[in-house]
Amino acid sequence: MAVKEMRMASAATDPELACPIGPVVDIVFSRWTTPILWSLHAHGRQRFVELERRIARITPKVLTQRLRQLERDGLVVRTYHPEVPPRVEYEISELGRSLAPLFAHLAEWAADNLDKVEQSRHDYDADSA
């Protein structure tokens, strides 16, 4: 049975699998994945230190973990240059680049709606007080 068929069969019995975008959300929207992909898409190939500077609040340990996971998922390409000292660069893959329209739609939604979300939160908190 193909992976897609197995997921569809499991979705009928597992509520977490019922949403077809669940796995995508898990891959792409974890805490630091979006800023990493955004930075690589916007600024091109970067060394670890450049990414670390652009994503100021991320720790080196977490950046390393996320980059490894993104490389494993095929969203980031790691290039090792055997020089002295060694140089490693990261860039967004074609698969990662294919997420650009999704990010563009989300950025547009944010620009159009985040003020409404903030107002709703304010109203809710005022009613609860």
Crossing angle of helices 33-43 and 100-128, in 10° steps, is: 140
| pLDDT tens-digit readout, 45-91 | 999 999 999 998 999 999 999 999 999 999 999 999 999 999 999 99
pLDDT at 24: 84
* pLDDT above 70: residue 106: yes
Q: Give the domain ranges of the chain.
A: 18-98
Interatomic CA distance for residues 97 and 91, integer angstroms = 10
Residue 91 phi, psi dihedral angles, 5° rounding: -145, 155
Class of domain 18-98: mainly alpha
- DSSP E strands, the chain: 46-47, 76-81, 87-92
pTM: 0.76
Is the CB of residue 63 less than 8 Å from the CB of residue 32? yes
Q: Exposed (0-12), middle (13-18) or buried (19+): which is 67, by Cβ within 10 Å?
A: buried
